[in-house]
Amino acid sequence: MATFKRYLAFQAMTLTFGIVGPIFLLLYFASQPDPTLKWAYWWGLVITTADVLVALWLTEQTITGTAEGPDDAQSLPTRIAERFPGLTQRS
């Protein structure tokens, strides 16, 4: 269950940053049938799919390689920092 909660958190984050994908899909389906709006459908599909795949990848990256398993939420920031060494906190 902890893994699923972690996935939902990452999914919410990626959909927040990539909200343009669902907006394009909403634009396509809410408008009248128009062949010039096919780009909105395809780009919305691509961006939304990328959001889901990034959330799945982030979830997988935070739980693999740990002896404690996915329920060890205490070291999550440490594991993320180890996976992405270029990220540093600036003061």
Contact 80, 10 (CB under 8 A): no
- Alpha helices by DSSP H, the chain: 2-17, 20-30, 38-63, 76-83
d(C-alpha 6, C-alpha 55), whole Å: 9
What does the pLDDT read at residue 80?
74
What does the pLDDT read at residue 67?
47
What does the pLDDT read at residue 66?
54
Burial class (CB in 10 A: 0-12, 13-18, 19+), 64: exposed
Torsion angles phi and psi, residue 51, rounded to 5? -60, -45
> What pTM does this model have?
0.62
